[in-house]
Structure 1
Amino acid sequence: MDEKALRALLGQVKTGKVSLDDAVGKLKDLPYAELGYATVDTHRNLRFGFPEVVLGEPKTVEQILGIVSVLVERKQTVLVTRLQPDKAEALVARFPKGQYHPVARIFHLPQRKVKAGRVAVVTGGTSDLPVAEEAALTAEAMGAEVRRVYDVGVAGIHRLLRRRDEIQECHVAVAVAGMEGALASALGGLVGIPVVAVPTSVGYGANLGGISALLSMVNSCASNVATMNIDNGFGGGFYAALISRTKGRS
């Protein structure tokens, strides 16, 4: 239940179209739904503007189906991240209106329209696409208009310069890069919008599974850069959409 649905229900109680007992029945599990193995926060959509997101990787198929069923029954948008193909197959079979995005490993079933602003997702290279698509699809699920600007890393910075105006037109950018992670600083110095940096584990040798990129981004000399954890495309896309939300609603 979101704020619009809650207001409609309370209005029906006020006019007598819905009895007090029926309203209590609909609201009794508003804060959460207890499944034994999970306590689904069904109140989050009301207080936060977007429902609970499900991390699929460590969960069983049965657990994911149970949690998603709760969200679907309450007409809340479903976003399941880090999803293996066999689990995705089970979800699509149960909820055919949803879609699985294999590159991002995301299952998305929109239930209500939400609106945010414009988000640019920018990558250093093609190898960063899985993390970038996780960010892009997460932002889109939250209502953002996403512009994908891929493979424009500092090894050929003229590619980034050519797309600068397009990125600047957005409310926030997500810089996704591995190797030495210089993309975030380069982009931050070129645009006057917030930049959410997402280091990836892509790289050779001393990349150390993304640690070198993480340290570069954390130590960025561009003051408009904030950094997520390694490979956290979901966090980058979610945070960027939140930043853009006030712009998108203005």
Structure 2
Amino acid sequence: MSDEIRLDFQRSERVGFDEAILCARKSDAQLAAIMDRVLARGARCLMTRLEPDVFARIAPDYLERLDYDPVSRTAYLNWSPPVDIGEAQIVVVSAGSSDMPQAAEVIRTLTYLGVPTQQFIDIGVAGLWRLLERVEELKRFPVIVAVAGMDGALPSVLGGLVPGVIICLPTSTGYGVSNGGETALHAALASCAPGLAVVNIDNGYGAACAAFRALNMIRRAASANR
């Protein structure tokens, strides 16, 4: 088991945030060994794609150190919420409530990283008025994560309305030719709205990390200019 697991405890020193543990396809024994190593160092970690049935098999000794959310399929190990994190500077905008699992993964990741977020749910372009009535609020956020499946139109519309950094998170939500999120992904990549950043289908963790990196650089630039 020791040769199978090599945790990167120095990652936060290099890039500003620590390693997350992708739980998918890991055995129960591997997950237990990982948690043991994290706890032995007095460290913390974010666990992603932790399915409810896998969480249900975790030994009781670990449960008091875990904060689990079944919607996002994430868990915080040995984590304490930060104090006084200030106002939200990242907003997560989801086209529909069917995109909640992916949006929740973004929010849970950013919460773990100590970044407050705001969320607008179900403001997709099929009812454009729902988005337009939020535009003035959205303009004040330096970073936006746009979560959309189906035809993936939301990020392109946002890209023509607001000035902030927009990170597109295509989701597998949709029917038929939506093709498990490929249509939304291609729409984001082919968008006529310039300057959009795009992550892979359903990759809420990746979208959150991109948003966190962008916000860190914005904060650093603002601090340097004071």
TM-score, normalised by the number of residues in structure 2: 0.88
Q: Structure 1: which 5+ runs fail to align?
A: 1-33
The structural deviation recorded for 1:246 is 3.4
- What one-letter code is carried by the residue in structure 1 that aligns with 2:13? L
Query: Does 2:92 correspond to 1:121?
Result: yes
Confirm or deny: 8 A CA contact 1:76 1:111 kept in the other structure.
Answer: no
Could you list the runs of 5+ residues in structure 2 that have no partner in the other structure?
none
Q: Which amino acid aligns with 2:23?
A: G
The 3 A distance-change label for structure 1 pair 201 and 42 is same
Residue number among 162, 169, 187 corresponding to 1:198 in the alignment? 169
> Over residues 38-76 of structure 1, what are the superposed CA-to-partner deviations in whole Å (9 max), with x where a residue is unaligned?
111111122222211000111012211211222233233
In 2, the alpha carbon distance for the partners of 1:69 and 1:189 equals 48
**Which one has the bigger helix percentage?**
1
The C-alpha deviation readout for 1:207-246, integer Å capped at 9, x for no partner, is 1111111110001111131111111111111111111123
Equivalent residue for 2:62, pick from 79, 94, 98: 94
Q: Name whichever of 80-89 and 108-117 sits farther off.
A: 108-117
- Alignment of 1:79 with 2:79, yes or no, is no
Question: How much identity, in percent, do the aligned residues show?
Answer: 38
Question: Secondary structure of the equivalent of 1:39?
Answer: coil
Aligned to 1:144: 115
CA 70–248 in structure 1, closer or farther in 2 if over 3 Å, else same: farther
- TM-score under structure 1 normalisation? 0.80
Matched length: 217
Alignment partner, residue 245 of structure 1 = 216
d(CA) in 2 for partners of 1:58, 1:135: 21
Give the equivalent residue in structure 2 for 1:220: 191
Moved over 3 A (4+): 111-117, 246-250
Q: After TM superposition, give the deviation of residue 91 of structure 1 in Å.
A: 6.4
Contact 2:89 2:142 in 1 (8 A): yes
What is the root-mean-square deviation in Å for CA atoms of aligned residues? 2.2
Give the corresponding residue for 1:53: 20
